[in-house]
Amino acid sequence: MTSSFYDHLAPHYHLLYGDWESAIRRQGQALATLLAEEGVQPGDPVLDAACGIGTQTLGLLAHGHRVVASDISPAAVERLKAELQRRSLNALAGVDDLRTLAHVTTGSMAAVLACDNSVPHLLTDDDLLACFRQAHRCLRPGGSLVISVRDYAAVVRKTPDVHPYGMHKHADGHRFIAVQVWEWDGEHYDLRMYLTTEAPDGTCTTRVATSRYYAVSIERLTALMHEAGFAQVQRRDDVLFQPVLIGRTRKAAAP
């Protein structure tokens, strides 16, 4: 379901931002600053394990980071590759699953990222723990896992819960609008994204993409990161538009 959802969104995902190029620059700067605080310098290998169409990958490349990008959505990865080519940037990009990270060598990364509330697409604690264990495996000693997530403890749960995005007007006269609708099911909710394009003659086309989320608390995520082997986990609310959790692997013992 998650792969299909983002396959449908890939051609339109940039339109969900008021200004995608500005978001790339802003998030790139914020993450580059955070990684520097974590001891990750430009040129160090960074895995963007939920890259989507490239918001964080493109931003970090602009700051000199060496990025490996992966996502469960083939269409999102292809969109990222097209963006890289268009901008004359280089990054390895391929399809992978957060629960396996099968294409990443053990101990090869200085940092692993999974931003934009991607982790709660994993619907059970077992899947989340598998994700965190794989991230831990991929990191070198002293490496950092960085995830950004929605603070579900602060969300009022109502069904249906409607979240409209702004309208985008294209130079050719077309208009685009997206609306999220949440429907709660215990600790999970189903999401429908209505994507409507209006032609200059008034003709409208609407596509609906569906997915599901686990409304996992930040407290539970922190506990699972500790269980996966991260020695330190902290929450930061001053980095991105969502809370950021940072977990660190233990540094190698001094000889």
Give, to the nearest 10 degrees, the angle between helix 2-9 and helix 74-86.
40
Q: Is the peptide bond before 120 cis (omega within 30 degrees of 0)?
A: no
Q: What percent of the chain has pLDDT over 70?
A: 98
Cα-based angle 213, 214, 215 (whole degrees, multiple of 5)? 110
Cα separation, 103 vs 89, whole angstroms: 21
Q: Comparing C-alpha atoms, which of 73, 24, 76, 68 is closest to residue 47?
A: 68
Residue 253 has a pLDDT of 59
186-229 tens-digit pLDDT: 999 999 999 999 999 999 999 999 999 999 999 999 999 999 99
Q: Computed over its alpha carbons, how large is the radius of gyration of the chain?
A: 18
Tell me the two tokens of residue 56.
């964080």
Residue listed under structure tokens 């809370």:
243
Residue 254 has a pLDDT of 55
Q: What percent of the chain has pLDDT over 90?
A: 93
Examine the pLDDT at 251 and tell me if it is beyond 90: no
Cα separation, 47 vs 138, whole angstroms: 9
Whole-number mean pLDDT of the chain? 95
Contact partners, residue 229, CB within 8 Å, separation at least 6: 133, 136, 249, 250
Length of the chain: 255
pTM: 0.94
Which uninterrupted H or E stretch holds 82? helix 74-86
Residue 80 has a pLDDT of 98
* Residue 141: C-alpha distances to residues 33, 105, 106, 145, 231 (Å): 20, 14, 11, 12, 11
Q: What are phi and psi of 169, to 5 degrees?
A: -110, 125
40-63 tens-digit pLDDT: 999 999 999 999 999 999 999 999
CA count, 13 A, side-chain hemisphere, 23: 16
Domains of the chain are: 2-152+216-248 (3.40.50.150), 153-214 (2.20.25)
**pLDDT band per the 50, 70, 90 thresholds, residue 255:** low
Q: Residues 25, 99, 78, 200: is their CA dihedral positive or negative?
A: negative
Q: Comparing C-alpha atoms, which of 135, 122, 113, 130 is closest to residue 32?
A: 113
